[in-house]
Amino acid sequence: MNETLKRAKEILFAEADAIRNIPLDTHFTAAIGILYRCTNKVVTTGMGKAGDIAQKVAGTLCSTGTPACFLHPGEAAHGDLGLLDKGDVILAFSTSGKTREVIEMLERGRGLGIHSIIGITSHPDSTIRSLCNVVISMGEITEPCTLGLTPTASTAVMLALGDALALVLMEKRKFSKEQFGLRHHGGYLGQKARQPHTGAGSVSIR
């Protein structure tokens, strides 16, 4: 195997190991309970690469029966905080848990009456831990980047946790294929969601 492929495999294995080593515990269960009981919408947030993941998680939640949107913490400081309503749940992504814009948004959200905040973070001394009702720990993350800086393993863990939250919620809500199709009416997935279910031994007529 040439060095390029060898290095690529090392990176893939490092990200897979980071996901495999997530220390899931009762905090995940508690987070599911908060999200399931949410009476309004879930607002995801994060800065930088964590924000990119937060946007994707909001989209996955929406398509699987949990209304959600993304709020950029930087824009929140310039009026977008008005998106928040009582009854919302904030789902905050931050590996360090020390990002100033995220901390400020959570503090101001509390001031607007947001009572439920879930944090997804790695560092045990994360500042956002004190602002959250529930914290899902990402575990200790080692980025495979030679500089030890580029968010890759950490964002893979965030994405995996977001997907796990969305899919467990979907199943808890008994969200159906038909309901998925109503929310995803375009493209291949929308078409697939509207195809009649065919059990074993049945014939699909096209």
- Are 88 and 105 within 8 A, CB to CB? no
pTM above 0.85, yes or no: yes
Supply the pLDDT for residue 190: 64
Residue 201 has pLDDT above 90, yes or no: no
CB atoms within 10 A of CB 151: 18
- The token pair at 132 is 């959250």
Q: Are residues 21 and 102 in the same domain?
A: yes
Q: Are residues 48 and 67 in the same domain?
A: yes
Task: Give the domain range for residue 181.
Answer: 176-206
pLDDT band at 35 (very low <50, low <70, confident <90, very high): very high
Q: Are residues 171 and 183 in the same domain?
A: no
146-199 per-position pLDDT tens digit: 999 999 999 999 999 999 999 999 999 998 888 887 776 677 666 676 676 554
Q: What is the mean pLDDT of residues 82-100?
A: 97
Q: Are residues 67 and 137 in the same domain?
A: yes
Q: Are residues 15 and 48 in the same domain?
A: yes
**The domain spanning residue 140 has which CATH number?**
3.40.50.10490
- 3-state DSSP call for residue 129? helix
**Residue type, position 75, single letter:** E
Q: Are residues 170 and 181 in the same domain?
A: no
Q: Are residues 134 and 194 in the same domain?
A: no
The overall average pLDDT reported for the chain is 91
Task: Report the C-alpha gap between 186 and 190 in whole angstroms.
Answer: 5
Q: Are residues 48 and 127 in the same domain?
A: yes
The residue whose two tokens read 């031994």 is: 201
Q: Are residues 43 and 119 in the same domain?
A: yes
The residue whose two tokens read 């919620």 is: 169
Q: Are residues 160 and 90 in the same domain?
A: yes
- 3-state DSSP call for residue 67? coil
Q: Are residues 181 and 107 in the same domain?
A: no
Residue 205 has pLDDT above 70, yes or no: no
Task: Report the C-alpha gap between 21 and 139 in whole angstroms.
Answer: 7
Point out which residues pair with 93 in neighbouring strands. 120
Q: Are residues 170 and 187 in the same domain?
A: no
Residue 67 has pLDDT above 80, yes or no: yes
Calculate the CA dihedral of residues 105, 58, 68, 121 and round it to 10 degrees: -40
